Structure 1
Amino acid sequence: MMRRSILRHSLAAAAVLAAAMLPIRAYAVGPEPEPLADPVELTVGYQKVGHLAPITLIGEELDKLGVKLKTVEFARYADARTALLSGSLDMATVGPADLAIALSQGSTNVVGIMGVGSSKKYVIGRKDVKLESWDDLKGKTVAIAPGSAVWFQFAATLIEAGVPYDSFNAVNIQGGGANFDQALKRGEVDAIVTWEPFESIPVIEGYGYFAKNLEYSQSKAVGAELGMLVATKDAVETKRDAVERFVWAYLDAQEKLAADPEAFASAYADLTGLAPDVAKEAAKPITLGSVVTPEQIKQQAKAFADLGVIQKDVSGEIAEHWDASLVDQAQGK
């Protein structure tokens, strides 16, 4: 996923990344759907991250609507994407780039439905390591997860800022976000590029800090979206009524949590197993609700194909693999 070609692109590459940042899209959920006459099972892959907290609230609601929800936990978006494409799942939460990645790999049995949330993203510096500007990355050791959603955000920002990728030592950390925090705590790296709650934990525990001048969620190509809900084309076609009810229940729960920070923090803690005070802090930067559109994903697909990050340009295929009608249905349109 990380080719050296990304290191040598500067202003010309940044022009390819041009797409306006999109405002947060508010969802107003429509009337509750009628229960299905015959129950349908949906198998959904998810991750224990804060912006997916609504998933903790929908099981009983879906049961009343005739949808038997079976959830499968994955540590990474990429693993959930792989399981979805293999046919093991009906739906999954994945990264914003995963639709383009799947299509570039020749997998067409996938449909994008909606984004799930956004937040500002900062490089997390180790205590006493100076990171006041992008120039301060020079010579530092930075932990990354190549091909991850946050890596796409980070890499796009560096290109637009004209920061050479080889000006610092990028170290690939395997596994979940806790491994990033441990590497930072032990002094093995100077900074980490990760996700919540693993961004807030070093800050709360005092061995790291938000390098707020190194903010990387505002790139024109990738933006601030934290994740996406996708489904297999088979599920959308053969279990559409159940998928519609899942989307309605998710948006209903999302709307309630977005309006109640305390409830959001509580759901965050329930989902992740974090202590309530840690979950409360980690929830603060997150805004629930989609900020991504098919147009943004098209720009992302083209930009990263031009940079050699994904195998081919699939920007022209995004529209036919996006079903906005599911959200419209949930909104009563």
Structure 2
Amino acid sequence: MFTNSGEGLNAISSGKVDVGSFGTAAPLTFISKGTDFVIFGGQQTEGHGIVALPEKAKELTDLNSFKGKTVATVRLATGDVIFRAALSEAGIDWKNELTINELDSPAAVLEAVKKGSVDAGIVWTPFIKLGEKQGLEIVKYSGELVKMHTCCRQVALSTKIKENKEDFVRFTAALIKAYKFYVENQDETVDIIAKYAKVDKDIIKQETYGGHIHSIPDPDKNGVVRFWELINKSGYINSDLNIEDFIDTSIYKLALEDVLKEYPDDAVYKKLKADFKE
């Protein structure tokens, strides 16, 4: 477990772990700086949000209302990039027209919002609902700013994949089977998540199946490319790399084929194949 994506990606880069799932912004930023990462699978789509105290939330009616405000965020978090990109698209200079405070964790963001030291904060699940339980209001979900944007992607060093591709295929096949379980067994899925996320089960249920986050194993190449364009346009990074060179869809394709050989008539897996093809 890592506090933020930067810590986890440093562990992958140094060889301490083989694979990890981290928000799209972080691996793309590392890639832009020369790290030999490959995105080969998906895990999460959307799942971030902006929270504020009720009196502050009333003021934050649209993106223009963030001008002059102070917003807490976690550096390299997907929601951070989506927010800055949305501001840029709206013609707002986020570097000069508001203040963005980068904190170390979503928990620190919630504390800053509750204390009133910032006007709003950007966090991800389950911290969105945790904040709401603690008296904050949800101002906006990230999917309202950029619909179906990618978040957590499966990331590894390209050298690790070249050395043990079959291991990554089997790993991805397990994730595909886990996806089917997640779709068809909601209560059991919540029970499993609760073993790892020390949060009330009702919050886990709301966050997991509330429609503002989607756990999909597909690498979503088009979505990553779109995110790459957003992260550059927003001024978060500046890179002319061809990001498609750092996305490997073959692992997912092989894993899905293996699963379909085992369960050729399964509707969930057939839908994943159709979505992947699209």
Q: Same fold (TM over 0.5)?
A: yes
Query: Which aligned runs of 4 or more in structure 1 are off by greater than 4 angstroms?
Result: none
> Which of 223, 246, 256 in structure 1 is aligned with 2:171?
246
5+ residue gaps, structure 2: 259-278
Deviation of 1:142 after TM superposition, in Å, equals: 1.3
Residue 124 of structure 2 aligns to a residue whose secondary structure is coil
Residue 75 of structure 1 aligns to a residue whose secondary structure is coil
What is the match of residue 301 of structure 1? 228
What is the match of residue 149 of structure 2? 224
Q: Mapping of 1:52-201 within 5 angstroms?
A: 73-108=1-36, 110-119=37-46, 121-129=48-56, 130=58, 131-165=60-94, 166-174=96-104, 176-201=105-130
Residue 128 of structure 1 aligns to a residue whose secondary structure is helix
Q: Are the counterparts in 1 of residues 219 and 249 from structure 2 also a CA contact under 8 Å?
A: no
Q: Mapping of 1:254-269 within 5 angstroms?
A: 254-269=179-194
Q: Are the counterparts in 2 of residues 177 and 194 from structure 1 also a CA contact under 8 Å?
A: yes
5+ residue gaps, structure 1: 1-72
Q: CA separation of 1:257/1:304 partners in 2, compared to 1, >3 Å: closer, same or farther?
A: closer
Name the amino acid aligned to 1:164: D
Q: Are the counterparts in 1 of residues 149 and 227 from structure 2 also a CA contact under 8 Å?
A: no
CA distance in 2, matches of 1:159, 1:332: 41
Q: CA separation of 1:161/1:81 partners in 2, compared to 1, >3 Å: closer, same or farther?
A: same
- Deviation string 1:295-322 (CA, Å, 9 cap, x unpaired) is 33334334534554224221x2x23322
Query: RMSD between aligned alpha carbons?
Result: 2.3
Residue 193 of structure 1 aligns to a residue whose secondary structure is strand
Greater helix proportion: 2
Q: Are the counterparts in 1 of residues 88 and 234 from structure 2 also a CA contact under 8 Å?
A: no
What is the match of residue 138 of structure 2? 210
Deviation of 1:152 after TM superposition, in Å, equals: 0.9
TM, length-normalised to structure 1? 0.69
- Deviation string 1:66-95 (CA, Å, 9 cap, x unpaired) is xxxxxxx21111111111122222111122
CA distance in 2, matches of 1:240, 1:292: 16
What is the match of residue 45 of structure 1? none
TM, length-normalised to structure 2? 0.81
Residue 72 of structure 2 aligns to a residue whose secondary structure is strand
CA distance in 2, matches of 1:268, 1:233: 29
Q: Are the counterparts in 1 of residues 47 and 125 from structure 2 also a CA contact under 8 Å?
A: no
CA distance in 1, matches of 2:166, 2:123: 36
